[in-house]
Structure 1
């Protein structure tokens, strides 16, 4: 391993995923240095045609398919399946997000995959898991948000259940799948078996419910919808300053004391109504009214500086454009301008994982559909005549 070698350099991923949860998983693997070959049908991943299309490139697709190469392949044909099997012989990881059982119908059963490549790690992403009464149901992020308990605990009693604006179950599931693939790879390299890794959208979201699911298990009660207030901490939430709201998170008794002292409300914590967190939860509306009155005496910017200096976590609610223009985001290089040959420059979010010796980078922009057909097939041992024949037969 050289000093500038990325963590997964030398790892080959054959990627059968599409839309979002799977491509997010394979993008993470690609960002970490793996060679990712994205297998697409002749029409390509549906996301290629979604979102804003600029210079012939979907920015939605570009943002989730960097560091990959594209091979078009008709897997409905025996020749197409033969090409895939040839690629799998030299692969480390196969990623797929079909419904459970689809790989089997394609002839790629666990037994057949083991014959092709005994060391292959199969990473499967689905809606609900491959066992249980919902295994065969179609899945979508919105449905997984609803069924995981997330929506029922989001929002307020007045709004009713609310979804997250971003496709959170897709993203969390893709993240778990990538983590599982890397863990399985490490296990195989340590002498363990090559194994199948599975992550589902509903169960991934359920695992993120944290103290809400823990509380329900302990109490037998559903969590209340508390909106921007914290379900088990007070004060905590959005408060009003003279010129705008601020988010404040005094999550411990010590930080709560600092917060109230900065507002000249330290004496309130000795009031029998507010001297414990439990009592503050009961009298949250009264306490919040006092806090809002104190904060309204100064500006948002001044309170943010003052409270953070005092060790009280505090910030303003930023719009998406605010965040993308934030100096901290710039310092962390979280907005990238990526040249896409033939399509101009695409702006996208950067890498949240920071490596001290081998910083992550965009080695390949999102590929054009089938843009790497010839190169990938030549690397797999196909001759130019073979490639011409496959093209003539519409296999690629």
Structure 2
């Protein structure tokens, strides 16, 4: 992708791309993980540990190990003159910088877009914030759950009348990271034509409102405020969770064609002709009665019975797993969604694989999640710093 590629430790679609990772928490590292997993040479810049900080305990936790594989790690104190000077040296050969600091913090550290662009006009600079780089909330602290609440997501999650419910994953963080990775690749593509980098930004609030998708469109187009619908699809009935003799399953038979086939499959073809149940709008209006009628039938047999029956009829359905059952599923195993990593600190562990596949490339951990400062001297030597300069950066005795 870059015009003047660097040497990379292993081949991949992004081999030759040099990325400086200034991110913290989850949203920024999610973005960088896409780049690292597919061959970019990612250098993670971390501040020196504070007094009493349990660096090893945090780094060796499942979350950190999963977020930071395929990277190198260095320690730089950007507040110090030597640390900032080293950062500027690293910028000369970098293609991408990714950060998720508050706007005022990166300006104070002199690592904001104007500072970086002045040193290397080819840099693509990616930023994630809580609420945007400017505007009335620009310097507010933003975390995933705050964005879930302000975006409206919590108002439509959960059972009717339950009150606000957060989603079970950090969906705003993850979506912001995914979107920024896409934006960075767009900017790199443009740079092939122009030779000049761009500042690409998104925020947790933007990402989460974007993810409302059809629920947001219901308001913008029709002025309809979506409400909590629990496990039922808000507009397509019947789509939801139904009991079986040994648990629950998901069934999705919302179109008139699917509903007719569904009714035939469970031995109630009369339902497809019942007045009020022949249209999606009618089924939506009478969802409580429809769901109750279906539940009376499905609870008579185990989940495997219904899944086999509905699969034969071409009706979307599936089991409802706990997380351990997810990774025991044969299709999940076939897709390789648990990716092995050999960690010097932890031994052989599995991390969550990339969800992308490229013909001719294999998903793999090229580098285990690094220890704090593991590659500091190596990376600074590559940037041309002398041993004396490196000692000044690291605080090593002369």
Same topology, TM > 0.5: yes
Match 1:384 to one of 376, 383, 387: 387
Aligned to 1:257: 260
Aligned to 1:304: 307
Aligned to 1:146: 149
| Structure 2 portions without partners, runs of 5+ | 2-7
Aligned to 2:134: 131
Aligned-pair CA distance for 1:49: 5.5
1:36 aligns with 2:39: no
Aligned residues of 2:75 and 2:394 also touching (Cα < 8 A): no
Aligned to 1:24: 30
Aligned residues of 1:49 and 1:58 also touching (Cα < 8 A): no
Aligned-pair CA distance for 1:384: 2.7
1:12 aligns with 2:18: yes
Aligned to 2:341: 338
1:247 aligns with 2:250: yes
Aligned-pair CA distance for 1:38: 0.3
Structure 1, 203-212 or 213-222: larger mean CA deviation: 213-222
| Structure 1 portions without partners, runs of 5+ | none
CA distance in 2, matches of 1:274, 1:304: 23
Aligned-pair CA distance for 1:210: 1.4
Q: Helix, strand or coil: the match of 1:239?
A: strand
Q: How many residues align?
A: 389
TM-score with structure 1 length normalisation?
0.93
Aligned residues: CA RMSD: 2.2
1:115 aligns with 2:121: no
1:172 aligns with 2:175: yes
Match 2:296 to one of 293, 298, 317: 293
CA distance in 2, matches of 1:109, 1:297: 62
Match 2:376 to one of 373, 377, 395: 373
Aligned-pair CA distance for 1:385: 3.3
Structure 1, 276-285 or 377-386: larger mean CA deviation: 377-386
Aligned-pair CA distance for 1:346: 2.3
CA distance in 2, matches of 1:244, 1:238: 10
Aligned to 1:275: 278
Structure 1, 23-32 or 154-163: larger mean CA deviation: 154-163
Aligned to 1:86: 89
Aligned-pair CA distance for 1:109: 4.3
TM-score with structure 2 length normalisation?
0.93
Q: Helix, strand or coil: the match of 2:103?
A: coil
